[in-house]
Structure 1
């Protein structure tokens, strides 16, 4: 990993977000085609509560070909979540669904997608994703005992007998 990227990551983890953002922007000035620098800059802005400012950096990182090895999953999740917090629900759902397709084993995508679906009024789809993920990942004995029922109901909460 690039020394500057390591420094940015360390600063972000230490909560020194202004310093991390400044260093990320310096790196982008020096290496504008570096998708990892763009992603790190986005992540720092996002962590600092500067979601609107984070978006172009996320988008640029992916446009430049951020790879799975360089945390494409994190960028897709970050961008999708950020779109949702900015009220861009369609873009959020599209981005998170793309992440879910590309990273089917990453359980964070369907959970965040369920929130975007909720915001879009797609409550059935939101609940289906949440219930499926809850049932498939829980180790709580009181819920695990009802795994089969939860998975059955997740597909159609409106059905009655």
Structure 2
């Protein structure tokens, strides 16, 4: 089999596995992706899809090495890289690996500054590490900048001000 045919087979098999996952056939998708990950161990996209297949089944611990591989190999689209950072950080948090979650989300925000999803999940991980002030600062700042709620917009300046120090009194 030529490398080009191998790539074509890889693409077809990957598309088929992703389709299975999207159709709710999660275990079948996971099995196909595991086989692909074994056949293409340095393929970031395959590793990323394999991680997601594990996550959707609640197999977070098994997802971690695939997320880590996907992020270390390079080659992911920006959208997939963002998704992998969110997935890995969230998975670390679910597993009680809070410091790793915080580090992952902070690193993600260096690459994708201002991403609301990363900020929100970072705030949850900060809460888990008892960094409550920073967690609230992040959430209040995000709320003030992204909410279309008229009440939030009416008090946006005050919310942004107090996001810096909730303990401030007059």
| TM-score (norm: length of structure 1) | 0.95
Of 52, 60, 76, the residue aligned with 1:51 is 60
Give 1:11 shift. Answer: 1.5
1:121 maps onto 2:130 in alignment: yes
> Unaligned 5+ residue runs, structure 1?
none
Mapped contact 1:36–1:70 kept (Cα < 8 A): no
1:107 maps onto 2:116 in alignment: yes
Give 1:110 shift. Answer: 0.7
Residue pairs, 1:61-72, within 5 angstroms: 61-69=70-78, 71-72=80-81
Length, aligned pairs only: 161
Mapped contact 2:70–2:76 kept (Cα < 8 A): no
Give 1:66 shift. Answer: 4.0
Structure of greater Rg:
2
Divergent runs of 4+, >6 A: none
Other-structure match for 1:11: 20
Q: Distance in 2 between matches of 1:153 and 1:25?
A: 48
| TM-score (norm: length of structure 2) | 0.90
1:83 maps onto 2:83 in alignment: no
Q: Distance in 2 between matches of 1:70 and 1:36?
A: 11
**More deviation, 33-42/98-107:** 98-107
Mapped contact 1:117–1:126 kept (Cα < 8 A): yes
Other-structure match for 1:96: 105
Mapped contact 2:120–2:139 kept (Cα < 8 A): yes
Give 1:134 shift. Answer: 0.7
Give 1:101 shift. Answer: 1.0
